[in-house]
Structure 1
């Protein structure tokens, strides 16, 4: 099957939302979400060799950031040294994946490499947004689909691998002055991200120490930022934005008024489907092929990741 973009106009969004690819992807998001209910980032986890492999790849990418110094000249829209870093991704990632995952067929490796490369931003616009985040989640989902990552790796996929990815992305954003993708981050919660707020709210479900109204209080942010992904996101916002929180992050301020983390978590998943997965400007860039099939999911089909059977 040819690996290419398929969503060419607004009407194609409906086809995407009924596709196997959509079912597999949203199944992945929900399965990972359920796996970390009330599981903080600092809870010790046993890491499989496969999780360590993926983590090693991310650490190599992080080293490349250190190698590529930002240009000293003033750059109005992002630092152009990012293009040099991105070129390293394009040149080296296919070979690294081929070596690390030698049991996977070449076409699938090509698709996995594309999702991973595109998850670090756009080298022309020097921007980053939820479409790039989506690409990384598709990379992770793809690893489950080809049985590199397994059900027992679910917690580590979020709390170790994805958390490391977010650290690297934040480093990129600051080092190369990356712009928010889209209409000034219109399809995200903090200009850049969405998924860490979903999975981060799952970590806080039934938490007696941190009710939703407290996550905008800097004292609690500093106390819990290394323990909960959601608070880490809030801390990053407070570092990079000036002024009153309710002015620069109004959506999050409104969320702090919701009564429970369960309601926040459910609401964020619904919002993600509508504001990210349902938006043509984002999905038009997503390539489909053998891993994620752009064809209708019949009623007889069971989404691949429904077999996780992770207890709620």
Structure 2
């Protein structure tokens, strides 16, 4: 992957090679139980690895279209199959009739299937010598699709999917060459499945800040999507609120796919239902938008206790402090 330094100075591909010969995997668990624990998270190896992963991918997609050419490895194909299975289960688990409009209880049946099958699904993606990692990595997959009690989904769940991909890099299942495919194929397919879940089961936004949040459900595709636009010859930030531009360019750009989904799901003036994005459209360059969104992601998601209290730590994403 592109050599982007994170706070600890490592990039994801270094991490895979740093695994001990016989690593001891563990079931990830919550470690952040009160606001005072947030310092532990920000000093942790997990935070450094996670942020390094996000920034490395951000660098890698700079100026590239979704439709550009890149290698697609066997592991990426297997991940697409895994996501295809989740998609198929939605078709097999239609919403039930219920009085309340939101939070369709059929989601719980869909989730129960994933809960049961997650480890087996992850095993299909891992190389033979890393099968022992399946129980640890499967936890992040289960965390990545929403909460079955509250029937909601938000940026914490999205972060769990990025953590899932980061773990696959750390055990060497995903490699340097997979960088573009990780976002353009795998993460994009994940977004499509999550949008289908959100629509089918009318999931509530988890911890939504309403009109003051960037988006009800996602954040990372705005970061990586704005990086795709850096130095674009014609499309400027002010153009993404123009429906004609969105309709013309959305197959190439993740950012516009997000805007298209918002336009489909919300009614009324864009400035009212998506005020933060409206404000972002006034920023002069995509490079500035990208840097601003990274800062906002840290402040609004990764440094917010209600989001991070649910994050789970194991051997691959460790709560231990970064080694000096």
TM-score per shorter chain, which class?
Answer: over 0.9
Q: Name the counterpart of 1:45.
A: 70
Which segments of 5 or more consecutive residues in structure 1 lack a partner in the other structure?
300-312
> Among 281, 284, 289, which residue is 1:259 paired with?
284
> Among 210, 234, 238, which residue is 2:235 paired with?
210
1:288 aligns to 2:313 (yes or no): yes
Q: Name the counterpart of 2:154.
A: 129
* Alpha-carbon distance in 1 for matches of 2:185, 2:120: 24
> Among 221, 229, 236, which residue is 2:261 paired with?
236
Deviation at 1:55, TM superposition (A): 1.0
Query: Where do residues 134-149 of structure 1 align in structure 2 (5 Å cutoff)?
Result: 134-149=159-174
Deviation at 1:11, TM superposition (A): 1.3
Q: Name the counterpart of 1:79.
A: 104
Contact 2:313/2:319, CA 8 A, preserved across alignment = yes
Which segment is superposed worse, 181-190 or 206-215? 181-190
> Among 80, 84, 89, which residue is 2:114 paired with?
89
Contact 1:37/1:202, CA 8 A, preserved across alignment = yes
Deviation at 1:187, TM superposition (A): 8.7
> Among 46, 52, 55, which residue is 1:30 paired with?
55
Deviation at 1:29, TM superposition (A): 0.1
Contact 1:185/1:192, CA 8 A, preserved across alignment = no
Contact 2:30/2:312, CA 8 A, preserved across alignment = yes
Shift in CA distance, 164/185, structure 1 to aligned 2, threshold 3 Å: farther
> Among 189, 204, 216, which residue is 1:191 paired with?
216
Q: Name the counterpart of 1:182.
A: 207
* Alpha-carbon distance in 2 for matches of 1:47, 1:74: 45
Q: Name the counterpart of 1:165.
A: 190
* Alpha-carbon distance in 1 for matches of 2:27, 2:242: 50
1:60 aligns to 2:85 (yes or no): yes
| CA RMSD across the alignment | 1.4
Deviation at 1:227, TM superposition (A): 1.0
Q: Name the counterpart of 1:309.
A: none
Contact 2:111/2:148, CA 8 A, preserved across alignment = yes
Deviation at 1:196, TM superposition (A): 0.4
3-state SS of 1:160 partner: helix
Deviation at 1:287, TM superposition (A): 1.0
Contact 1:130/1:188, CA 8 A, preserved across alignment = no
* Alpha-carbon distance in 2 for matches of 1:115, 1:180: 19
Task: Please report the TM-score for the alignment, with normalisation by the length of structure 2.
Answer: 0.89
Q: Name the counterpart of 1:103.
A: 129
3-state SS of 1:124 partner: coil
3-state SS of 1:164 partner: helix
Contact 2:212/2:275, CA 8 A, preserved across alignment = no
* Alpha-carbon distance in 2 for matches of 1:186, 1:250: 6
Contact 1:129/1:185, CA 8 A, preserved across alignment = no
3-state SS of 1:33 partner: helix
Deviations 1:169-228 (A, max 9, x none): 000000000000014558952111100000000100000121000100111111111110
3-state SS of 2:96 partner: coil
Q: Which runs of 4+ in 1 moved over 6 A?
A: none
Q: How many residues align?
A: 298
1:17 aligns to 2:59 (yes or no): no
Deviation at 1:3, TM superposition (A): 2.8
Q: Name the counterpart of 2:5.
A: none
Q: Name the counterpart of 1:113.
A: 138
